[in-house]
Amino acid sequence: MTENHTNISLAEQYSATLDWWRDAGVDYLFEDEVQSLLEEQKAAHVPASPAAADSKPVPKEPAVAEKDLPGDLAAFRTWWMESEALPSGSAPRIAPKGAAGAPLMLIAPMPEIDDGEQLLAGPQGKMLGNLTRALGHAKDAPYVASALPSNITLPDWDALTGEGIGAALRRHIELAKPKRVVLFGSKLPALLGHDASASPETLTEIAGIPAFATFAPERLLDHPRQRARLWHRLLEWTA
């Protein structure tokens, strides 16, 4: 019979034992003092106090609160030009133009970059004026407004929606009381609460007023095919 002999020293045996336990994942010294294994779990499951359980995140108050919006058109137009709650760029604020009860209300995203005393006084306004006359209305017949009071470079429409700009635009439409509303800008329907994933063409009314949505004026100026498509859609809509 062959016997196995171990010729390693006591120190080597001790080192090998430590390596074995270390490889097994045991790298702490455990003593004989009794400890509660569930103590940490109990602490982790201490029920929250009723006050903490009832506390919920408070939604941010929009800059434009619907309750603070004016209730008549003249007051609204003054508020539009003066309110610090409205976002403004470095360009001047431009007032809407037209009278209440107009056959059309034309709404652009914001004033043209070179607008001074009159809203949409440049190429965009000229295009909309031609469109208005082609539909059989006088040039100054529509009520012309914008979703923002001044021209802003690359506005964040999602953030503006959270600031209550849509509520201000809806109130403006309600107070202007047009027969029909045309929105120029793919972001404007969502601003008014329309499903952002739906086509803007599915927008049919705002505050009970027949509504129509199309591309922003600058896009229409750059794309003749879109202007032609818009014209045919408007003829069907107003027939």
* Residue 13, domain member (yes or no): no
What one-character DSSP code corresponds to residue 97? B
Q: Does the global pTM surpass 0.85? A: no
* Residue 35, domain member (yes or no): no
Which pLDDT value is given to residue 200?
78
Nearest 5°: the CA angle 80, 86, 89 is 105
Contact (Cβ atoms closer than 8 angstroms) between residue 109 and residue 156: no
DSSP characters for 2-57?
PPP-----HHHHHHHHHHHHHHTT--S---SS---TTHHHHHHTPPPPHHHHH--P
Show the domain range for 139: 66-238
* Residue 176, domain member (yes or no): yes
What would the pLDDT profile of 55-67 be if each residue is shown by its tens digit? 566 667 888 888 8
- What backbone phi and psi angles, to 5 degrees, belong to 184? -105, 95
Which pLDDT value is given to residue 202?
86
Q: Which residues of the chain have pLDDT under 50?
A: 1-3, 37
* Residue 23, domain member (yes or no): no
Give 54: exposed, middle or buried? Use CB within 10 Å, 0-12, 13-18, 19+.
exposed
Give the CATH number for residue 142.
Answer: 3.40.470.10
* Residue 24, domain member (yes or no): no
* Residue 32, domain member (yes or no): no
Which pLDDT value is given to residue 63?
87
* Total structural domains within the chain: 1
Which pLDDT value is given to residue 1?
47
d(Cα 104, Cα 102) in Å, to the nearest integer? 5
CA 163 to chain CA centroid, nearest Å: 8
* Residue 37, domain member (yes or no): no
* Residue 39, domain member (yes or no): no
Contact (Cβ atoms closer than 8 angstroms) between residue 143 and residue 99: yes
